[in-house]
């Protein structure tokens, strides 16, 4: 540890230059990264209902669960873009115009340090926000509730810098107020990079409260006035630095007592032993102390935070997903025979597997019930399905499409398997877009059905959309693994 400290001063200049260069490179990359994002738009409730499979419980990703006032769902739009949809309770944002204005203003921001806002919906009592989906959990999960490995020191410093850069960008665009900055507001993207959720740039609801966390963590001036200022955001950033340093959510008053008593060992996460020099630890504590000053005017601004954090960056050449231990798309997936068949576009093998599966995953949705009195129309509908099944079995795919379409168009009964079979029939008939639409519809009906994801992958491969196909394939693999794990318990 001692030699590391002595090396620090002589290495600082070159390291700082390297880190500054990296920051400039990241800034230059920003245009290309962010230009891929669509402009802010308004969605209908129906579009978002389809995207989230009817706001299915299985698609809830927010930590606070189904009964929270604001629930976040994962979803997939028609163009296959994955999104996070935040649904407010009915008493929030009674003024739709105020909601739209606020959402539009946040939706103008575009930065690679943010989980950007893509759109909103304000039909009737519904108030929903649509943002980029970040698949790799929150900072709270990785910091407080980790399973595989504790977060490394280098990654914690990267989180601090990237969040400071996000705040600096927002401030430069006139959005300096961030509501309730905490470890749940920081999410990780496909590459394992931390991003600041755009949801915190909007007010929580009509009561205007900016902090939902324990009062022990709120800025002192907020307790006095009930108002948030840019300096209040810096105070919250200080509590975030304490989280990163300690691996726990320590109340600032307790942390400041430890700092005054020079009891830094009690403040530091024991999992970090040997990962950083005492100088670096002291500097992070100093930064946290500055952010936690009682007087708002004595706290730093985002720009000075970025300047202070850049020299501290370690292992800058190591990708975030490596530091985080997050598997990447190119790494091996454990695929079932159906997943493998979809990956190599072996339509014959896919047909054999779907034929053997029959209707086992429909949970009775398309089952004939002998005790139910069928009208003539319902009987005809079932006959259409039977004819479709016979055509599918005999590989008469045009006929299968016609018969399954008759069954689907009546709409009396809903069957994900029928959509899956028609999807494959479309693929066999060289109609990949129609196949994709049916695979998506199968997932709307059954949100956690892995076969729907696999068929989406096959259709996307056929459409030449390789990256999206790989994502759908991985989603199918994850869903299938979860299903197998659950059934084996």
pLDDT tens by residue, 288-305: 999 999 999 999 999 999
Catalytic residue among 36, 95, 125, 180: 180
pLDDT of residue 377: 58
Q: In percent, how much of the chain has pLDDT > 70?
A: 84
DSSP conformation letters of 39-69: PPEE--HHHHHHHTTTT-GGGB-STT-TTSS
pLDDT score of 72 more than 80? yes
pLDDT score of 205 more than 80? no
Is the alpha carbon torsion for 472, 476, 482, 483 positive or negative? positive
Three-class DSSP category at 353? helix
SS (H, E, C) 440-481: HHHHHHCCCCHHHHHHHHHHHHHCCCHHHHHHHHHHHHHHHH
Give the residue with greater pLDDT, 148 vs 395: 395
Q: Are 343 and 457 in contact (CB under 8 A)?
A: yes
By DSSP bridging, strand 82-88 and strand 128-132 are antiparallel
pLDDT score of 11 more than 70? no
pLDDT score of 66 more than 60? no
Q: Which residue's entry shows tokens 């086992």?
A: 360
pLDDT score of 378 more than 90? no
Strands (E), 176-236: 186-188, 194-197
Q: What is d(CA 145, CA 148) in angstroms, rounded to the nearest whole number?
A: 10
Structure tokens at 128: 């929903």
Per the prediction, the chain carries an average pLDDT of 84
Q: What is d(CA 102, CA 203) in angstroms, rounded to the nearest whole number?
A: 8
Q: Please tell me what DSSP assigns to residue 198.
A: G
Q: 341 φ, ψ to 5°? A: -65, -40
pLDDT score of 136 more than 50? yes
Q: 82 φ, ψ to 5°? A: -80, 135
Return the number of other C-beta atoms located less than 10 Å from residue 18's C-beta.
Answer: 16
Q: Which residues contact 135 (CB under 8 A, 6 or more apart)?
A: 82, 188, 189, 190
pLDDT of residue 466: 87
pTM: 0.76
Q: Please tell me what DSSP assigns to residue 262.
A: T
pLDDT of residue 178: 93
Local confidence band at 255 (pLDDT 50, 70, 90 cut-offs)? confident
Q: What is d(CA 381, CA 366) in angstroms, rounded to the nearest whole number?
A: 11
pLDDT score of 120 more than 80? yes
**Residue range 427-454: average pLDDT?**
93
pLDDT score of 380 more than 90? no
**Residue range 155-161: average pLDDT?**
97
Q: What is d(CA 121, CA 99) in angstroms, rounded to the nearest whole number?
A: 9
User: Minimal CA–CA distance to 460: which of 474, 451, 444, 471?
Assistant: 471
User: Residue 36 catalytic?
Assistant: no
**Residue range 100-117: average pLDDT?**
95
């Amino acid at each position: 540890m001692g030699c590391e400290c002595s090396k620090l001063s002589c290495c600082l200049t070159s390291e700082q230059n390297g880190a500054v260069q990296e920051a400039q490179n990241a800034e230059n990359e920003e245009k290309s990264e962010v230009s891929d994002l669509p402009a802010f738009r308004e969605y209908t409730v129906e579009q978002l209902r389809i995207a989230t499979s009817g706001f299915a419980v299985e698609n809830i990703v927010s930590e606070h669960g189904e009964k929270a006032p604001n629930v976040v769902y994962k979803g997939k739009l028609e163009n296959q873009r994955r999104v996070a949809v935040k649904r407010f309770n009915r008493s929030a944002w009674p003024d739709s115009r105020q909601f739209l204005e606020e959402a539009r203003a946040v939706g103008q921001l575009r930065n690679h340090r943010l989980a950007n806002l893509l759109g909103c919906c304000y039909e009737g009592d519904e108030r929903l926000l649509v943002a980029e989906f970040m698949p790799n959990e929150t900072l709270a999960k990785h910091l407080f509730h980790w399973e595989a490995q504790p977060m490394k020191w280098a990654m914690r410093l990267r989180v601090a810098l990237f969040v400071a850069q996000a705040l600096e960008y927002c401030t430069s665009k006139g959005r300096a107020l961030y509501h309730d900055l905490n470890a749940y507001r920081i999410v990780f993207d496909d590459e394992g990079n931390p991003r600041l959720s755009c949801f915190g740039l909007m007010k929580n609801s009509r009561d205007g409260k900016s902090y939902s966390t324990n009062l022990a963590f709120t800025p002192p001036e907020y307790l006095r006035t009930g108002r948030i200022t840019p300096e209040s955001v810096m105070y919250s950033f200080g509590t975030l630095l304490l989280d990163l340093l300690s691996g726990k959510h320590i109340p600032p008053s307790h942390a400041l007592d430890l700092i005054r008593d020079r009891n830094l060992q009690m403040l530091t996460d024991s999992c970090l032993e040997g990962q950083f020099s005492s100088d670096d630890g002291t500097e992070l504590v100093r930064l946290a102390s500055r952010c936690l000053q009682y007087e708002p005017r004595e706290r730093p601004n985002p720009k000075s935070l970025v300047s202070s954090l850049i020299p501290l960056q370690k292992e800058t050449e190591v990708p975030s997903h490596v530091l985080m231990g997050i598997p990447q798309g190119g790494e091996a997936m454990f695929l079932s025979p159906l997943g493998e068949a979809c990956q190599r576009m072996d339509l014959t093998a896919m047909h054999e597997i779907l034929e053997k599966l029959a209707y086992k995953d429909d949970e009775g949705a398309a089952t004939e019930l002998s005790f139910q009195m069928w009208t003539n129309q319902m009987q005809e509908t079932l006959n259409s399905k039977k004819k479709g099944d016979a055509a599918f079995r005999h590989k008469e795919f045009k006929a299968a499409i016609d018969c399954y379409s008759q069954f689907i168009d009546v709409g009396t009964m809903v069957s994900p398997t029928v959509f899956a079979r028609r999807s494959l029939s479309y693929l066999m008939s060289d109609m990949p877009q129609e196949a994709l639409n049916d695979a998506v519809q199968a997932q709307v009906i059954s949100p956690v059905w892995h076969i729907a994801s696999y068929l989406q992958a096959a259709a996307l491969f056929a459409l030449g959309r390789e990256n999206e196909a790989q994502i759908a394939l991985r989603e199918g693999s994850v869903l299938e693994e979860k299903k197998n794990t659950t059934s084996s318990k």
